[in-house]
Structure 1
Amino acid sequence: ENYIPSCEVADIIGRDVRTVQKLTKDGTLTCEKKKNKNLYNLYTVVREYCDYVAKLGKKKISSVEEEKALEEVRIKRAKAELAELEMQELKGKLHAAEDVEQMTSDLVMVIRSSFMALPGRVAVELAGINDATELSERLKTEVNAILEDLSNYEYDPEEYRKRVRYRRGWISEERDDE
């Protein structure tokens, strides 16, 4: 008979004795008790260990396949989220920071030009005023007129849509001006 002790099984499979004992306890390897010792049939234990290793390999493959599937799901979700964000942007519900920055810069330039034009617009009229209070009131009236103009500024979703289409290269500046 080809019965061997656990230490020889450990040598054959390249593991330690504790691993052999654990695999025996788990039911992976079968043994027979002879004279208070666990003895293993050489052919049976080698076949059982090979089956065990093959199962581990399948588990690793399925684990890799599962990771791959999870990664594909993550990528598809990210693509769907990106498509949703692009749709929101095209509908004018979401704005790219660069478009907001550009529109804000345009507004700041309008404000700047309004205030820069103020001295030239009122210089002649103010030159004839000698009373400081009257001069102050006239300047306040002009500044309030500029601020009133600016308070009429309205958000134009179509302007943002144009900027998105232009940024994406769907329309050219010449065509946009038409």
Structure 2
Amino acid sequence: DGNYYTGDTGWHPDGGWGRLFACKVTFYLDDLTKDTGCLRVIPGSQNPTHFVRAQKIDPNQSEALYGIPPRDFPTSIALETSPGDIVIFNHDTYHASFGGGARRRMFTMNCTQHCTTEPDLETLHQYLSVHSAGGYQIDTGAGMFFPTMVDTADENRSIHLQQCSDIHDELFPQYARRS
């Protein structure tokens, strides 16, 4: 998933499972500081007992709540990066970006656990209904992944791709791999 981002991205988590189910691996192609759109996180906010979650606080409303702009939300930290740096975080962690200019280049990989129980498989179905090519209405021509990822996969990588591919194709048959 490669993207250009501009401007601000408000506080949000990508999940709410209350445990480590998925993580995001992000790397940037530009120098990013607290003033130019670096990733900000609220450490510990992936935990259901963290004050943001326990008190149902919307960090984007911190100006009204505390008189503090969202970019300076209490306990948040700015993760300044240089090209090639990698940031990995739990999908449940609240994160944002403020001060981005006209171009903030980043690549992300969303990773989930391999599911073996019915509750985890149900969670994976819910996850892929949003966080996948089909969920974003992107037709890759190869289903969940782009053709190069699938076509160059050896047996070991294919094993890791299979579960998400199968569920994705079940959820989005219109985007399933075409021969």
Q: Shorter-normalised TM-score: what interval?
A: under 0.3
- Indicate the structure with greater strand content: 2
- Rg (Cα) greater in structure: 1
- Indicate the structure with greater helix content: 1
**TM-score, normalisation: structure 2:** 0.17
Q: Does 1 or 2 have the higher relative contact order (CA < 8 Å, sep 6+)?
A: 2
